Structure 1
Amino acid sequence: MTQEDAMNPGPQNPADSTESARMKSMPPLPPAPPAQSGPPAQSGTGPVNPAALPFGMTPYPPTVQLPPSRRNYALFAGAGLVVGLGAGLLLAQIDLPSNSTALVDAVELCDLTDQSGIALGDEGQSLTMSGQGNETFGYGAKFADIQCVLAAIDMPDSVSSRLGNTRALDGTQTAQWGEFSTFWNYHPDDGMNVTVEVVGEK
């Protein structure tokens, strides 16, 4: 090969020329992101560190939590107000029973507040009267004291007669009048024992 041939090469392959032009037209690749030395990105719904993602990937946008509607709060508040007013009006129309003071008044009327054998219970809604007997050694209320209390609460004469004629063999007797219910028994050793309860009008 002469020097002229070396300086003027012959026609080249067209395919080689096209490939060379294509390689020259492509831009250079961007450098890879530097490696992160911090902790790996946490999984979940929190924000994702873009540097922790593989090259070329973009993170999903974070989920937006919309505030609850103020209209729902207004509806709930209005419904609660209506229910509260309705319940208040209903309770106002109901006549709630009040405790009777009849037994307390009867004990005070007969001056037996500190008398042994006279015991109020159930916030004044029951009264137990234990009389004197042969083996009570002076403890208890006298029969006249018991009769005073029963008369103060309007015990009917028929019931009072039954109570005064009760024997040990008769066992426990019961009676009811007005707002009171009572039961009693008698034994010579224990005396007369009477219990009265407020049960309301029948």
Structure 2
Amino acid sequence: MFIPARCTALALTAAATILTGCAATPERDLIPVPPTRTEAAAGLKGAAARCGLDGTEGVQLDAAGTSLTIDTKGPDEASGASTADVKCVLDALEVPSGIQSKMTLTTSTAESREAAWEGRNYSWSYDPSSWFRLTVTQG
């Protein structure tokens, strides 16, 4: 029986893994495929759905699923999303911690900030009366 070199280490630790996983994986499955525009749009819709944001005050997702805006509830506002909603979406979209840290460190004296990652553009701002506002658009 021939075991590919990439599976040798797994063979030493778990024969079942080789039989059901690594040995059965065609080489072409290991090459990442960039998401299509439809898959990317599903990413914003999927993130909003995973976080239970459908109908949440302060959350707007366009019909095409290419733009998501989350406006958190500030002390001078009657309604809005929570900062936990923002965190949930960022985690669902797997936004790197470096970008999330920049968002956390934004102050009211800073102008609107922007970042791009994985084909998405992130724009955010902070104001003491309206708190945090994030817009994610599919690039």
Counterpart among 48, 52, 57 of residue 111 in structure 1:
52
Structure 1: 5+ residue runs without aligned partners?
A: 1-96
Structure 2 distance, partners of 1:145, 1:195, is: 13
Unaligned runs of at least 5 residues, structure 2: 1-35
SS in 1 for 2:75: coil
User: Residues 13-63 of structure 1: CA distance to partner in whole angstroms, max 9, x if unpaired?
Assistant: xxxxxxxxxxxxxxxxxxxxxxxxxxxxxxxxxxxxxxxxxxxxxxxxxxx
Q: Partners of 1:163 and 1:111 in 2: how far apart?
A: 22
Q: Show CA shifts across 1:100-129 (max 9, x none).
A: 200000000011111111110151001011
Q: Moved runs in structure 1, 4+ residues, more than 4 A?
A: none
3-state secondary structure, aligned to 1:151: helix
**SS in structure 2 opposite 1:105?**
helix
- SS of equivalent to 2:109: helix
Q: Residues 156-195 of structure 1: matches in 2 within 5 Å?
A: 156-195=96-135
TM-score by length of 1: 0.49
**Higher relative contact order (Cα pairs below 8 Å, separated by 6+ residues):** 2
Larger relative strand fraction: 2
Give aligned pairs, total.
Answer: 102
Aligned CA RMSD, in angstroms, stands at 1.1
Which residue identity does 1:105 align to in structure 2?
G
SS of the residue 1:168 aligns to: coil
User: Match for residue 61 of structure 2?
Assistant: 120
**Following the alignment from structure 2 to structure 1, what is the Cα–Cα distance between the partners of residues 136 and 118?**
12
Which residue does 2:8 correspond to in 1? none
Whole-angstrom distance in 2 between the partners of 1:147 and 1:190: 17
Matched with 2:9 is none
Task: Give 2:88's aligned residue.
Answer: 148
- Name the larger-Rg structure: 1
